Structure 1
């Protein structure tokens, strides 16, 4: 599930829920370096895998995330082979990549307490890239072939927008594009994931080859749950529901 609140307490609650994996999001959520670090610390020790999504495919930001101790990155808006190669290069020390060296200062190396961290770092990091545009779908086979791309994750919301179908994540053309990517990943022998909050759509993608899936978000659960309480216990008003804007 998505972890978007920015709260370490909420992240820890989700970490102990029995889920397979969490996505701590900084692209569309109020998460900075400090809050991501606190959530990593809160989640640590629970039997759950954690991915972190930066707001942009940026070498400097990826370096900072890695130094914090992020090991599984979900890189948004990867539209081409060049984008995918840049994401991988940002996670590798020279000469294989361009990651800056600061292990003595970094939680990732436990401040140089991890033996041979510089030599082993790449083997501790996974790179998943997001396929969320028409261009990315067209290039998906080549993106999957990039050395260092460990998996793809399809984002139906932005993909729908790219197809001219804004807000229609379950439109047949969007579903077909998602399934095209899942099939390409199967052929490449790499895992593919997808975002799907509707149970029937989630099951369809799982049956279609998705290896991992996002089926909910902390903020969405809180929003819908609190709305249900209001609907059950707050008398209806002629003025309609309250609104923030």
Structure 2
């Protein structure tokens, strides 16, 4: 069945929520994210090779944790979006959005009539027809989110028209690609990048569309919160795991370097 979209509800109520990208193609990745207490997850099919069955298992696992599952697609192919929504995705994340027409087409592909042209199907989100499909259609239109990523200079330039497009629920920043577009690759904290993000966020919020930012640098959270942002991403689970592993290794090396070899291992006393 299609659960209520807890992310959409939280945004509407102005509550802070935290999400992470899932780039490891395994349901176990979603279990870790869910157990860690995140509110939503963005399953990445833009940069990662994940087969359709695995994506569905990842969505199913997110449902188990009441973790809102969004899926980032590689492009605006309506058939791909249809299959992901029929698998139970509660939202589609569109990369590299640069104009209102892209959002308009995505909304049409994600919503059933009269709001869109999504093909009807009595699959798993509709409980395979166990309950009224007429009721399901309305629930799906209220539940499914359309998220636009602003990742280029052109996207920032057209943010007014993009944010004004009906059916857009959330704008997610893509500072890494935006830095490249602005000629300062990987300098996500560069003044030009930050100014572009601040402008796009201001316009989005003025149109009543929530803004989601990545927390990359110290002090990012309070600064964005002061601007009215309540939706945050903490990167992808691969990077988080990598940094945690590096830190664990460094701590072990530091501990061993400071140990007294003559003291022996504490367990040796009881052996």
| Paired residue secondary structure (2:128) | coil
Out of 128, 141, 149, the residue aligned to residue 111 of structure 1 is: 128
Find the aligned partners of 2:45 and 2:196 in 1 and give their Cα distance.
25
Partner of 1:20: 39
Find the aligned partners of 1:96 and 1:21 in 2 and give their Cα distance.
25
- Please state how far the C-alpha of 1:145 moved relative to its aligned partner: 1.0
Of the structure 1 ranges 31-40 and 175-184, higher mean CA displacement relative to structure 2 is found in 31-40
Please say if residues 41 and 70 of structure 2, whose CA atoms lie closer than 8 Å, have aligned partners that are also in contact.
yes
| Paired residue secondary structure (1:11) | helix
Mapped pair 1:66 → 2:85: yes
Of the structure 1 ranges 165-174 and 36-45, higher mean CA displacement relative to structure 2 is found in 36-45
- Please state how far the C-alpha of 1:85 moved relative to its aligned partner: 0.6
For residues 59-208 of structure 1, the aligned pairs below 5 Å read: 59-94=78-113, 96-101=115-120, 103-104=121-122, 106-115=123-132, 116=134, 117-208=136-227
Where structure 2 has 5 or more consecutive residues not aligned to the other structure, the ranges are 1-19, 255-271
| Paired residue secondary structure (2:64) | coil
- Please state how far the C-alpha of 1:226 moved relative to its aligned partner: 2.4
Using a 3 Å threshold, how does the CA distance of structure 1 residues 182 and 14 change in structure 2: closer, same or farther?
Answer: same
4+ runs of 1 displaced by more than 6 Å?
A: none
RMSD, matched Cα = 2.0
Q: Which one has a bigger Cα radius of gyration?
A: 2
- Please state how far the C-alpha of 1:233 moved relative to its aligned partner: 5.1
TM-score (norm 2): 0.79
- Please state how far the C-alpha of 1:94 moved relative to its aligned partner: 4.4
Partner of 1:3: 22
Per-residue CA distance 1:41-93 (angstroms, 9 max, x = gap): 11213243332211222111100111101112211111101111111111123
Out of 228, 235, 259, the residue aligned to residue 216 of structure 1 is: 235
Find the aligned partners of 1:184 and 1:83 in 2 and give their Cα distance.
18
Find the aligned partners of 1:47 and 1:100 in 2 and give their Cα distance.
26
Partner of 2:49: 30
Partner of 2:259: none
